[in-house]
A and B are shown apart, each in its own frame.
Chain A
Amino acid sequence: MGPLAPLEIISGDWNLFLALIIGIAFGFVLEQAGFSSTRKLAGVFYGYDMVVLKVFFTAAVTGMLGLLYLSLFGWIDLNLTYVNPLYLGSTIAGGVIMGVGFIVGGFCPGTSVCAAAIGKIDAMVFVGGIFLGVFLFAELYPLIESFYMSGYLGSPKVFQSLGIRMGVFALLLTLVAVIMFIVAEKVEKFVNKGA
């Protein structure tokens, strides 16, 4: 029955150790998927390589369905899982800034670590940039704090915010994802034939 750590079925130290193991699996899969290549990552925005879209949404849908099925079988208590809180202003603003960062730098934090691990110097520089960016945020924090804390809406679930049933949303998301995959493959074919 899970989740193991919040239910104290495993100790805090075991949780940290397993974090390492899970991270290894995460890093391995990311690199195998090709996410250690900045050109592959940027490809989704230009249509020549839609791997990011395929992997990202397949993972999200798999994760979502997996958690729901685990809960159905009574193997996980979803009340004890962390749901990230919604602060309207900062969530959107942060996302926009990260979006620009993605196009400019060609990485996100997870993939940059992956790419740095296989020797990509641009990835290592990107990671260095992240440290600077965090430091900048920390030093500017007093100025940003009120905006950062504004628009708190708790930790709503997306189907609650949309007012539809959970299972229905799960189905809709899955269908939307599959449609996106089919469209993405057509885009890839088109862009790569032309170029």
Chain B
Amino acid sequence: MNVRNSIFAALIFMALLMAFIPADTILKFKLSPDRMLAEVREDMYMIHPDQVADMIIAKDPSLQLIDLRTPEEYAKFHLEGAYNIPLSRILDKDNLPVFNQDIRVNVLYTNGSTDAQAGWMLLRQLGFKNNYVLQGGLNYWTETILNPEKPSDLQADDEIARYDFRKGASQHFGGAPAPSSSDAAGTAPKPIIKQKKKKAPQGGC
């Protein structure tokens, strides 16, 4: 009888503790792979350079650029107002509050977009929202904003409008030369995401 009672007591005690710990603390891993794949495929986490340029010029206060490259690369060139948090330090205790908030829109970038995407996935796994990836990274930024391609005269009006915008933005940003593409996916407008395939567990019958 004593064994039985101590087992009952132990189980109730452990359950009692669980009742008082918030679910967020118990479930450390916020996003299932299926959900993450859905978000990746929707591409909603990417921001086009046009949009970012617009926000910078308009001095949009919600924008926060985050440069995930090394301090050396950051020193050589970085986008206006960007913080430098190297990818290797993205999970540091001091840096997490930057990503875990819902006031500012963090746009992560690197030279291409592979590392920025990796950074986004890490943060998304932790359940953080409000973090986005600069589509195509600095390489694409250079192509579109700093050295915009002049459309042919036969192009549609919106193409020309976009070109004008980019030319103006280019002036603003000083049309600086492109940094080296140290991480892949460089110039393609729709970068291909290399996602680590996690096999979902089989189960049931």
Contact = CB atoms under 8 A, between A and B. Distances in A.
A11 B15 CA distance: 34
B33 A80 contact: yes
A37 interface: no
A192 to B, nearest CB: 17
A82 to B, nearest CB: 3
Interface in A70-118: 71-72, 74, 77-85
Interface in A1-41: 3, 5-8
Given A3-B201, A170-B18, A71 B27 contact: yes
Contacts of B198: 6-8, 80
Contact of B18 (A3, A79, A82, A167): A167
A44 interface: no
B201 A170 contact: no
Contacts of B75: none
B28 interface: yes
A188 to B, nearest CB: 13
B201 A5 contact: yes
A58 to B, nearest CB: 8
B8 A167 contact: no
Central interface residue in B12, B18, B19, B25, by most chain A CB within 10 Å:
B18
Interface residues of A, number: 35
A65 interface: yes
B29 A72 contact: no
A65 B15 contact: yes
Interface string A153-169: 00000000000011110
B201 A175 contact: no
Size category of the B interface is 20 to 34
A167 B26 contact: yes
A65 B10 CA distance: 11
B200 A65 contact: no
A168 B20 CA distance: 8
B27 A61 contact: no
Given A6-B198, A7-B198, A178-B8, A166 B16 contact: no
B61 interface: no
Given A167-B20, A175-B15, A72 B199 contact: no
Given A167-B26, A174-B11, A68 B18 contact: yes
A6 B27 CA distance: 17
A171 interface: yes
B201 A81 contact: yes
Contacts of A171: 12, 15-16, 18-19
18 contacts: A6-B200, A6-B201, A58-B7, A58-B11, A68-B18, A72-B25, A79-B27, A79-B31, A80-B198, A80-B200, A82-B204, A167-B19, A170-B15, A171-B16, A174-B14, A175-B15, A178-B12, A181-B8
A-B interface, 6 closest residue pairs, ranked by CB to CB distance from nearest: A82-B203, A174-B15, A171-B19, A79-B32, A77-B29, A167-B19
Given A6-B199, A78-B27, A80-B198, 8 more contacts: A68-B18, A69-B14, A79-B29, A79-B31, A79-B32, A79-B33, A167-B19, A167-B21
Interface of B: 4, 7-8, 11-12, 14-16, 18-23, 25-33, 198-204
